[in-house]
Amino acid sequence: MKILFLSQVLSYPLDAGPKWRSYYVLRYLAEKHQITLVTFVRQQDSPAAIAHLESFCHQVHPVLLTRSRVRDAMDLASALVQNKSFLIQRDDLGMMHARISEIVAQETFDAVHADQLSMAHYALPLKMRRVLDEHNAVWKITERMGENETNGLKRTLLTNEAAKLRAHEARMMTQFDRIITVTPQDAQALTFADAPPRAPFKTIPICIDPATLPFKERTASARNIIFMGGLLYPPNVDGVLWFARHALPQIWAKFPDAKFFIVGARPPNSITALGEQDSRIQVTGYVQDPAVYLDQSAVFVVPLRAGGGMRVKILDAWARGIPMVTTTIGSEGIETISNENILTADTPEAFAGAVIKLLQDDAFARSVAVRGRAWVEQNYDWKKIYTAFDEIYPPA
């Protein structure tokens, strides 16, 4: 089949959660079909990254997406005036519409694959089979952020945005021939009584390539803690602040020398301030290869209080052999066995206690890590699991 693949991010290198989904779906589909990729790129994206995608895609068409606080403010004002979703308005660019129109005028495709909600509206004018891969139920993430927000104005804006996103996602459910979700929970959140989908949802989880992520044995002296994730994503910021303010002091009472590595691009002032206030907290910013921090860490934390979809960071840590503590929301959508391949806690006291248990008991920590590695190999290896896409895009 000839598939037009629309992506909101350049899916390589694998340095952000959404890229893992997009990249391995591209890799799998390109083995059996002819893929034309149309993707937003940012200023920092390299020609080498585009060239890598060109090595297995038929064609790659980059479209520059620029972001700034001024432009975000303008898009927010426009969205409020027009009663539209800010997140959708922000990524609605005439240049992308024009590029897609040029491509489909020159070539015929069997299907268009919209990767993430923000690319869905670009597929609507196209007269071909339409498939939407929903990485998250976006409205649900925004609703949860509003529930956790203490600032009254921000809470109101988030609540209103969630309502607009819910209406937009409901409409998208009726416009596509197939909808893919990454978790059953997202499928449930995207099931609207007043907007039934054209076809049943198909759930295919985010997967990784465990073979590229070697299992590391923990050194006897390792007592450090790591969080890894993009810090432009508000739920990550909220979770890190919650952990640092409420759980970390309890851990330091037992292990005063333990360092906390916060590894992720574009940390806001609230996060960088943590490192300025205590030298045991290291805020790294963007790191091309996080292995240097992962190798020094004894526990991986996923302290999320909002979010949706799947946390690729859990799959990554499982593969590398780092035992984890997560909240219930943090592991939502991922099959886990609590106290066997992961520890789950939802209060600061319980979260700190779980981290302390892993730091104190090396044998228990290793058993959790070994089971995690086996679990990800069995259930989240893209070469095994992504054969599910053959039902949506039958090979010739």
User: DSSP secondary structure string, 269-311?
Assistant: HHHHHHHHH-TTEEEEE--S-THHHHTTEEEEEE--SS--S--
> What pLDDT shows up at residue 273?
98
C-alpha distance across the termini of the chain, in Å: 7
DSSP secondary structure string for all residues of 9-75: S---SS-SHHHHHHHHHHHHHHHHSEEEEEEEE-TT--HHHHHHHHTTSSEEEEEE----HHHHHHH
Q: What is the pLDDT along the chain (396 residues), one digit of tens a residue?
A: 999 999 999 999 998 888 999 999 999 999 999 999 999 999 999 999 999 999 999 999 999 998 888 888 898 898 888 999 999 999 999 999 999 999 999 999 999 999 999 999 999 999 999 999 999 999 999 999 899 888 999 999 999 999 999 999 999 999 999 999 999 999 999 999 788 888 889 999 999 999 999 998 877 677 999 999 999 888 999 999 999 999 999 999 999 999 999 999 999 999 999 999 999 999 999 998 898 999 899 999 999 998 777 899 999 999 999 999 999 999 988 989 888 999 999 999 999 999 999 999 999 999 999 999 999 999 999 999 999 999 999 998
Angle ∠(21,102,104) on CA atoms, nearest 5:
65
Task: Specify the DSSP class assigned to residue 237.
Answer: H
Query: Do 81 and 106 touch, CB atoms closer than 8 A?
Result: no
> What pLDDT shows up at residue 32?
98
Q: Residue 205 burial (CB < 10 Å; 0-12/13-18/19+)?
A: buried
Domains of the chain and any CATH numbers = 2-207+382-391 (3.40.50.2000), 210-379 (3.40.50.2000)
Q: Residue 391 burial (CB < 10 Å; 0-12/13-18/19+)?
A: exposed
> What pLDDT shows up at residue 215?
94
Query: Do 263 and 228 touch, CB atoms closer than 8 A?
Result: yes
> What pLDDT shows up at residue 300?
98
3-state SS assignment for residue 394: coil
Query: Do 326 and 305 touch, CB atoms closer than 8 A?
Result: no
> What pLDDT shows up at residue 220?
65
> What pLDDT shows up at residue 310?
86
Distance (Å, whole) CA 206 – CA 96: 26
